[in-house]
Chain A
């Protein structure tokens, strides 16, 4: 994927992360927030990691990002259940904050794209 395209994706997902954080802070309770949070979990955390892995094709990057976002969030939720420490809102803010930070870094960092995974 071209560097500009990667930056655009990172910027778009950073915006999504910022929006879900704001909605969480305002405690908005609509279905739209659930849809946005679902989109965030599906795409943003996985993409923040996958962008570093330099996978072979764009389609593989998106597929891995989705699978990684689902798996990572699922494991986090399952660990909270197993440890009997159920604080999803705090965990969500933590994940969204870390993801936003990383995606902003990707969107603003200059430099040529490294080739190959």
Chain B
């Protein structure tokens, strides 16, 4: 049923160059004449799978529950056992062993990839008590409001102006009879990252062919996605849809291929496939564009931008495809998101061209906190630079082979244009990296592929010179291991205050249970509390940090703002220590001070998580 696109020019199939050596010829001939059952299983065929199994066993043996309260500025990495950490180099070795085989085994590589997703992205869900990140809890709150009311809450939050994903969550929870989507939160990153890896795999194999280079691109993406944008969120869902759209474009609507060399001066005709295939691809992209438009403000614009790059480089057929994506997004922005831009037009256009502001908010402004946090930020910067360097080296390798083509380079650079448009609340460079990563991984794959014997991928058949010999696979393994360990470190870097215990969630749930409509619930930090998953628009939910920078005289701040309920958790304690250098026990002292005034009383206390209620409210009742 399948019809593969013709391989790109210069593409070397995985079996190319598979000539038997002279001394092995008699053995091979003898083996070919024996029935399969009589020939023993070659031991070296088992090395890759055995290493992968060993990695899984090491990971499972080393896995242990992590208490967020005990973490410091370096986050999760300090709580991981050496046995567990050993599983990453072992898995990288398994992958390299599989990739240097003469004949690739896609099923084994696919199994290794699934294992890699579990080992990297399943680490936090498997070791922590409950879901991480305040914003993921907040998203379930938005979806809960939609499920209960059937409409958005105007003027509450800009994210309600793009409610598509929340509508989907509300639909799911309502149809399932569940109160909210919180059961989905904990393992969502592993599932979303797994689908994203599948997306990059499809994209890479469309660009590079089914050989080793495509697998290397997949693995570079898998081991370098440190951005943590894969929680239950509109951006994560729309990222997956965007990858599917790009994969369809690369497979059916690009001619010549993205990795094909040479500058195209005259637009060529349609790709060498059937009109039905192209029509199907365009129809699917239209459905995806319609779903993207009401779901996220950034992703459809970026997808349209990437398609425009393909139009400018004369690779895309048809040339009007970017408009198919752009028009629904602009229509939704004009009509559906009116509530957002009517009140905040200055915020939308005010940042345009302010690259300095984007850099300040997105890079330099983030370097606050203790030494551990600074190290984590440096690891993230280092990972980004490493991927950029590998991509540049991949481009250089192709250039030395005489394969000069711009599309992949431009596609990897195009997301940086976002920094010109918006600072995006200080997160724009994280988004730039995320959107550039699939294409940077493909370019970087050329570099690692060149380290290994018998390079694959487009252009591999031209001017191949062996520089590395047997050290090539070792270098590739070391690079993959370093990327994997750095990503595990970076992703868990904020877990001292971004991961929560069940007691933290119970404290907030108790506040929701006790709070009457119109009352207020406060946390010391909005970023370090699992808040917002209920009572959206019913009670006021705020953070003391906004009116009390650095938590200077924090007890006075609390008494001045006088929330009806105050949630205090160990994650907030860690947040204050790491970000503002507060001494250990600062939240305990705050609670003691508030109780001493007699204006607050303790209504919940479990495993360090506390809920204080205003005493006078109780007297009035």
Contacts and interface: CB of A to CB of B under 8 A. Distances in A.
Helix, strand, loop or mixed for chain A's interface?
helix
A85 B277 CA distance: 36
B171 A92 contact: yes
Interface string A18-58: 00000010011101011101100100000000000111111
Given A34-B172, A64-B244, A81 B277 contact: no
A71 B291 contact: yes
Contacts of B202: 57, 59-60, 63
Interface in A59-104: 59-60, 62-64, 66-68, 70-78, 80-81, 84, 86, 88-89, 91-92
B287 A68 contact: yes
Contacts of B173: 34
Contacts of A53: 280, 284
Interface residues of A, number: 51
Given A73-B171, A88-B147, A117-B280, A27 B1 contact: no
Given A37-B175, A75-B290, A81-B163, A68 B284 contact: yes
Helix, strand, loop or mixed for chain B's interface?
helix
A72 B205 CA distance: 26
A63 B243 contact: yes
A95 B274 CA distance: 31
A57 B2 contact: yes
Contacts of A29: 176-178
A70 B284 CA distance: 12
Contact of A38 (B1, B177, B184): B184
B198 A77 contact: no
Contacts of A68: 244, 284, 287
Contacts of B167: 74, 77-78, 80-81
Contacts of A89: 174-175
For the side of the interface on B, what is the size category? 35 or more
A115 interface: yes
A85 to B, nearest CB: 8
Nearest to A90: B175
Interface string B174-199: 11111001011000000000010011
Contacts of B181: 34
A115 B4 CA distance: 11
A1 interface: yes
Contacts of A72: 287, 291
Nearest to B152: A81
B459 interface: no
Interface string B1-18: 111110000000000000
B265 interface: no
Contact of B146 (A66, A67, A81): A81
Interface string B196-213: 001101100110000000
Given A63-B243, A74-B168, A28 B150 contact: no
Given A71-B241, A89-B175, A63 B198 contact: yes
Interface in B267-304: 273-274, 276-277, 280, 284, 287-288, 290-291, 294-295
Interface string B343-366: 000000000000000000000000
Interface of A: 1-3, 6, 24, 27-29, 31, 33-35, 37-38, 41, 53-60, 62-64, 66-68, 70-78, 80-81, 84, 86, 88-89, 91-92, 113-117
Given A34-B176, A63-B195, A92-B175, 6 more contacts: A37-B175, A58-B2, A60-B248, A73-B168, A76-B171, A114-B1
In order of increasing CB-CB distance, the 4 nearest A-B pairs are A86-B150, A67-B244, A71-B291, A92-B175
26 contacts: A2-B1, A29-B177, A29-B178, A33-B178, A34-B173, A56-B252, A59-B198, A60-B247, A63-B195, A63-B199, A63-B247, A66-B198, A66-B244, A68-B287, A70-B240, A74-B165, A74-B167, A74-B237, A75-B290, A77-B171, A78-B168, A86-B150, A88-B147, A88-B175, A91-B171, A117-B280
Interface of B: 1-5, 146-147, 150-152, 163-165, 167-168, 170-178, 181, 183-184, 195, 198-199, 201-202, 205-206, 237, 240-241, 243-245, 247-248, 251-252, 273-274, 276-277, 280, 284, 287-288, 290-291, 294-295
